[in-house]
A and B are shown apart, each in its own frame.
Chain A
Amino acid sequence: MISGGDSSFRKLNTMNRRMFIISAAKLVVFTGIVTRLFSLQINENKKYLTLSDKNRLREWKLPPERGEFLDFFGKTIAGNLKVYQLHVVPEQVEDFKYLMVRLKDILELDEKEFSKIIKKKNKQKPWETLVVSENLTWDQFSKVNFYLHELGGAKPVLSVARSYPHKEKFTHVLGYVSQASESDLANSEIIKKNHVPGLRVGKIGLEKAFENDLIGSNGIQRYEVNAYGKRINQIDFEEGKKGKNLRLTVDTEVQKLANDLLLDKAGSISVMDIYTGDIIAMHSSPSFDPNLFLYGISHKDWQEIRENPLKPLVNKTVAGLYSPGSTIKPLVALSALENDVISPKFTVRCTGKMEMYGQTYHCWKKKGHGYMNLRNAIKQSCDTYFYEAARKLGVDRLNKTGLKFGLGEKVFGNTFIDEKKGLVPSTKWKKDNLGLGWVLGETLITGIGQGYIQTTPLQLCLMTAQLANGGYKIYPRIKVEDNQDTAEQIKNKMAFAGIEKLQEKKDDPKAPIIYRRFLNNKEQKYKPLYRNPENIKFVLDAMWGSTNEVMGTSFGSRIEDKKYQFAGKTGTAQVKKISERHRELELKAKDVPYEERDHALYIAFGPYKNPRYALSIIIEHGGTGSKVAAPMAKKLFKLIIDRHEEREKILKQNLSIT
């Protein structure tokens, strides 16, 4: 019974009143919860949806497949090889330590390799793939597969890796690839974008120069993962793009011959098309096998390469600086003729030495050449004549001609990061850099390619090519691209450019029409580098004499067959100033210590009747150019000219395709 009417009424009243307050509070709380739900699910839905996707989706980048390098004939010179690798994703492994110890056992890793892998693991995110081994042998691969049931989390995979089938043959052209370093990532956006652990990038050479074309793009696997990072299922897969295949202008056969010729020697051989500027071969010796760098070079191999006194790491073709020696003489002669300092008839009597400004300047021929005109001086490489010619010419005018023909400037611009500019001295250069006035005696030795002047083998090759094509500027190239000018087109352009030059000189009645056509073309390329084409012709003829006439310095290496006949100029660059005593002793090369022996040089072009190729050869401390370098040219020209028809065939095929 509800007793005591009043009391219980008050009690109920209180309860009802207070219940009302609670109910009001409930309404507020209820509204609060609904509002919160609304704000999370409706207002901020997008934000949380993104967060949820970020939770559940994870991307795995696959390494991009690198583009290949092909030679001119389409043969692979840097390709991709299928390799067996062992991958581990640390966060998917229950007991990482145990797994690693087991793997160490199975793969027979030594302590050093083992700790390297552990270090690598600590640098990565736990869901990133750890590449335990990049190149398993078939034995190791099958062993891992055999024990796979005990190796939870280890994944043997088939992958692709760079391979250089010709090993050391192309090293200094192609460079090599190796694991991307911190600085690679910092300096290149595209590497950063495509980076996956273990990605190989170009370190030097064309591999580095054309990185952006070669690298390709990642394939992407998108997985749904659970909270523990375990892949649940694949959501989608974006296939990566393989990098561009690059076709080079080089000919593997010629490159191989260059390798063979320079075997066990330090030196360089470059071969160039004198119209297109195509590099046919470019070799720096000694070389090394770039495959060694793919998986981290072993200490022993590295030591061997680094400590080799012949310096295999230096790309001598573009980064080796040499005194050009007598190979500069055609250029000195041309400069003297162009500047009307001497005429071809100008004669000097060589007695074997020359006194000037209180110093004695020697000719290489101790007995002297007797009376020499210009053609004979080039042919027999008379130093005395060129002392006199250089004295009359002056270093600054020689400097101008040198620069025009490509000396003192990088041949390939930025393509080879290690390419050097070399040096063609001038009075201004000496004043600016050494702070000293030019001494006339220095002009004399510059005239025979000694002293301050320094050139790379590739520059000498370019210089020879630009002389051989009649004196026109060309643009060296190493990569075949679409719509490149063919030799014929370039020859035509040169002809137009030459006529323009003639137009300035003579009032050829026919010229204006063609001249106007030339102007309308607005073609600024392939400009003539001469003032008078007769001067070029004269120099080329003298070079022919040097190789193909009795008394010529490279007469011994001549080829009689017109098809292969070439013209060249020898050079012997002194490394050390020869003292009077040594001069009297007339030491033979083999009696002098290696480092003090002369460099042997040779530049040449051919076939003489209708020139097409130019080359330069340098053999460090090889002795005289005529004895050591010129014979190599003979072998090279035989092959190069035989291969020429093959090249033309390829060109015609390509034309018919396009």
Chain B
Amino acid sequence: MFQRRTITNDLTFFQKIRSFDYILLGCILLIGIISCYSMYSTDGGELQYHTKSHILRFLIFFTLMIVLSFFSIRFWHATGYLFYLIVLGFLIWASFYGITASGSQRWINLYFINLQPSELMKIAIIVCFAKYYHRTQISDVNSFKNLVLPIAILILPIVLVVSQPDLGTSILIALSGLVVLWLAGLNIKYFVYSSLVFIISMPFVIAFLKPYQKLRILTFFNPDKDPLGAGYQIIQSKIAIGSGGLTGKGFLKGTQSYLDFLPEKHTDFIFTLFSEEHGFTGSVLLLVLYAIMIFRILRIGSFTRSYFAKLYCYSFGSAIFIYIAVNMSMVLGLLPIVGSPLPIMSYGGSSMLATMIGFSIVMSSNIYSKQLIS
């Protein structure tokens, strides 16, 4: 990157500011602005509740991210397990005292915010695993003890989230965890075996799914079967995106969303709205912004010195990619509909908070890239 003194422990404030990755920061800010103005469009071109609260959250959490970036990477390493345990505690709390909305008990009331701990778990699991494998020797990674504990760490939150029930988030948590395990060097045969087991157990898993979840999977394979029922979301989303064309229908002119044909347009289907109004050009532009963002994250990972930070950045970069890919494939009709927000773009405080915390650790890795962790 740029020349810096080797003593990284006591960087001056000015030096810290200078060593930010401004391209990454710019990407986040740009996507944030795009998300605010898409939210403005979902409100029908008026400064309504969703827009106001989204802008407020983005400003708060973006500031929070910058503040947290100044925390040393050592801090994150030190609090890795604690972070996981706190979020796990929240999850357990949610399963007992959580707020139920639309048939799912996902939120806890923290008085100033209704928090969805499962969203935070997506980050916490990465931090926790990064810390866990930081110390583990490569020869021990595949030992029995080092196999059982990480699986327990992964399974516990997944079970809690599935029982909320929230299939989408639990899948994303699982994928986040698996990415870290993969990067940490877990033997390929485990991945092959577990995928085999997964495929074989599919029919049994499906048998245990809630009727609405089953319906979603069936609908995915044939959305036209019941166009006004289960297939409605996929069909309407495809119509919206497809009708956008090369340049889109224009800002605030997306008829599909403006006339309420789009479901969940603030959250999971925000990309559909954006794509309808700004067309292929706009969508690719947004995708390129996301690509640059992920590339910068991975780049930071490759320059940072500590194994913890490297593993974290690689994993987080990959996880963010997975979230984006799952969300977009879903709205494009390539995957069944599971609740999964588009990072930064989608409305939702917890998702935004988790994403921003995630970014702040990446930023910290960048600022303290020369710092080693014993």
Stretch touching chain A among B59-67, B276-284, B354-362: B276-284
Q: Give the shortest distance, in Å, between B146 (CB) and chain A (any CB).
A: 13
Q: Is the CB of A226 within 8 A of B259?
A: yes
Residue B242 interfacial (CB < 8 Å) = yes
- CB-CB under 8 A from A643, the residues of chain B are none
Q: Is the CB of A51 within 8 A of B311?
A: no
Question: Which of B259, B279, B311, B332 interacts with A55 by CB under 8 Å?
Answer: B259
Task: Please report the C-alpha to C-alpha distance between residue A18 and residue B315 in the assembled complex, in whole angstroms.
Answer: 11
Residue A89 interfacial (CB < 8 Å) = no
Name the residue of chain A whose CB is nearest to the CB of B255: A56
Residue A30 interfacial (CB < 8 Å) = yes
Task: Please report the C-alpha to C-alpha distance between residue A602 and residue B311 in the assembled complex, in whole angstroms.
Answer: 115
Q: Is the CB of B298 within 8 A of A19?
A: yes
Stretch touching chain B among A42-50, A124-132, A417-425, A530-538: A42-50
Task: Please report the C-alpha to C-alpha distance between residue A52 and residue B256 in the assembled complex, in whole angstroms.
Answer: 7
Residue B138 interfacial (CB < 8 Å) = yes
Stretch touching chain A among B79-87, B182-190, B202-210: B182-190
Stretch touching chain B among A2-10, A351-359, A481-489: A2-10
Residue B139 interfacial (CB < 8 Å) = yes
Q: Is the CB of B138 within 8 A of A11?
A: yes
- CB-CB under 8 A from A145, the residues of chain B are none
Residue A234 interfacial (CB < 8 Å) = no
Given contacts A2-B307, A47-B242, A227-B260, contact A41 B287 (CB under 8 A): no
Residue B168 interfacial (CB < 8 Å) = no
- CB-CB under 8 A from A19, the residues of chain B are 183, 298, 301, 314, 318
Name the residue of chain A whose CB is nearest to the CB of B276: A52
Interface magnitude class on chain B: 35 or more
Question: Which of A2, A45, A224, A227 interacts with B243 by CB under 8 Å?
Answer: A45
Q: Which chain B residues in 249-306 approach chain A with CB under 8 Å?
A: 255-256, 259-261, 275, 279-280, 283-284, 287, 291, 294, 298, 301-302, 305-306
Question: Which of B183, B275, B287, B294 interacts with A15 by CB under 8 Å?
Answer: B183
Q: Give the shortest distance, in Å, between B205 (CB) and chain A (any CB).
A: 24
Q: Is the CB of A33 within 8 A of B280?
A: no
Stretch touching chain A among B9-17, B46-54, B321-329: B321-329
Stretch touching chain A among B98-106, B118-126, B233-241: B233-241
- CB-CB under 8 A from B261, the residues of chain A are 55-56, 226-227
Residue B143 interfacial (CB < 8 Å) = no
Task: Please report the C-alpha to C-alpha distance between residue A453 and residue B245 in the assembled complex, in whole angstroms.
Answer: 77
Residue A186 interfacial (CB < 8 Å) = no
Q: Give the shortest distance, in Å, between A22 (CB) and chain B (any CB).
A: 5
Q: Is the CB of B138 within 8 A of A37?
A: no
Q: Give the shortest distance, in Å, between A546 (CB) and chain B (any CB).
A: 79
Q: Is the CB of B329 within 8 A of A33?
A: yes
- CB-CB under 8 A from B374, the residues of chain A are 1
Task: Please report the C-alpha to C-alpha distance between residue A38 and residue B298 in the assembled complex, in whole angstroms.
Answer: 27
Residue B179 interfacial (CB < 8 Å) = yes
Q: Is the CB of A8 within 8 A of B182?
A: no
Q: Give the shortest distance, in Å, between B65 (CB) and chain A (any CB).
A: 24
Question: Which of A38, A42, A52 interacts with B240 by CB under 8 Å?
Answer: A52
Q: Give the shortest distance, in Å, between B251 (CB) and chain A (any CB).
A: 17
B interface residues, Cβ below 8 angstroms from A: 137-139, 179, 182-185, 236, 238-246, 255-256, 259-261, 275, 279-280, 283-284, 287, 291, 294, 298, 301-302, 305-307, 310-311, 314, 318, 321, 325, 328-329, 332, 334, 372, 374
17 pairs, CB–CB < 8 Å, chain A vs chain B? A10-B138, A11-B185, A14-B138, A15-B311, A19-B298, A26-B321, A37-B280, A37-B332, A41-B279, A42-B245, A49-B242, A49-B243, A49-B245, A52-B243, A52-B256, A56-B255, A226-B260
Known: A37-B332, A41-B245, A56-B259. 7 other contacts (CB 8 A): A2-B306, A19-B183, A26-B325, A42-B245, A52-B243, A52-B256, A226-B259
